[in-house]
Structure 1
């Protein structure tokens, strides 16, 4: 190795080391969004969630977050949860044969399809009865961090309707 190269590498090493030593340090309370001690939850107070209290059919439906995303629940869900196979208040309005009459979003075809047998069912799939496993009530809370994600939909209907069953195996032969 030449003397010049050795001097340049040494100078670069000194610059890197001094840059690291001069970097700013932060306390644990300055890290994260909550600005509290990271090892204790004692001082953490969550903002209360402002769920919609508007009755079903009278609420503003939000655009889906991305193509085939489960839609948010736009109405009050008081008294509708817990959901079980025997007690599911959602299907009373959202079954396809009822939804149009009550102006509700119909349950999509994918919920009447058995993914294991690859067959359409005559009823709601037993794997899809728990609606709030994917669908959550809309909240009027402001996000802690600005969301700059911008979804792209392949069709205009993608903002309000699911075509998951149609596109599930797209490109798979």
Structure 2
């Protein structure tokens, strides 16, 4: 008889449980504010628009007429502060950068205004201190900087400047 009582209890519990699930009470309605599609990205236009971004403007300063740009961190490669339109493409056989910057005798010296920053010692090899041409593509690391508005504000401050 105790077995029958156990089955009866299980059956009663199942019936009560299922009857509780069958009630037709509605869940509370939550109002969700619509999100304007123009506020979804950095561009602040509709996601359906095809915006025309502004043309990127690089420095038009001649070499030797601009100041060196600071670096963001200790090992960052220096940025190019002058126009390089006439110098690219940089190839192994045509590298106009070295015409001004291949001055190992000026490494560590105080430079006069307009004097090119010398190529660093890390770019020279061998007993004769020759420029290592495995790094002939200068613009792979050293890039001119565009005069562009920030898309996102930043509180980053360089740890060390030149």
TM-score range for the pair, normalised by the shorter chain length: 0.5 to 0.7
Mapping 1:41-52, distance limit 5 Å: 43-52=50-59
**2:67 aligned residue:** 60
Partner of 2:159: 152
What is the DSSP-based 3-state SS (H/G/I as helix, E as strand, rest coil) of the residue aligned with 1:127?
Answer: helix
> Which runs of structure 2 are paired with 1:52-91 in the superposition (5 Å)?
52-91=59-98
2:100 pairs with 1:93: yes
Deviations 1:36-82 (A, max 9, x none): 465x7x71312211211111111122211211211111111121000
Provide the TM-score with structure 2 as the length reference: 0.65
Aligned match of 1:103 in 115, 127, 141? 115
What CA deviation, in whole Å up to 9, does each residue of 1:119-173 have, x standing for no partner?
A: 77732223311111111112222212222111223xxxxx33xxxxxxxxxxxxx
Q: Which runs of 4+ in 1 moved over 6 A?
A: none
Question: What is the rounded CA distance, in whole Å, between the counterparts of 2:97 and 2:142 in structure 1?
Answer: 11
Root-mean-square deviation (CA, aligned residues, Å) is 2.9
Query: Separation in 2 of the partners of 1:62 and 1:129?
Result: 22
Unaligned runs of 5+ in 1: 1-17, 114-118, 154-158, 161-173
**For 2:130 and 2:61, how far apart are their aligned partners in 1?**
29
Larger radius of gyration: 2
For structure 2, list consecutive stretches of 5 or more residues without a partner in the other structure. 1-27
Alignment partners' CA distance in 1, 2:76 and 2:69: 12
Q: Is the 8 A contact 1:51 1:140 kept in 2?
A: yes
For residues 64 and 48 of structure 1, do their structure 2 counterparts lie closer, same or farther at Cα, with a shift above 3 Å needed? same
Over 3 Å counting, the alpha-carbon distance change for 1:73 and 1:26 in structure 2 is same
Q: Is the 8 A contact 1:112 1:120 kept in 2?
A: no
Contact 1:111 1:125 in 2 (8 A): yes
Q: Normalised by the size of structure 1, how large is the TM-score? A: 0.62
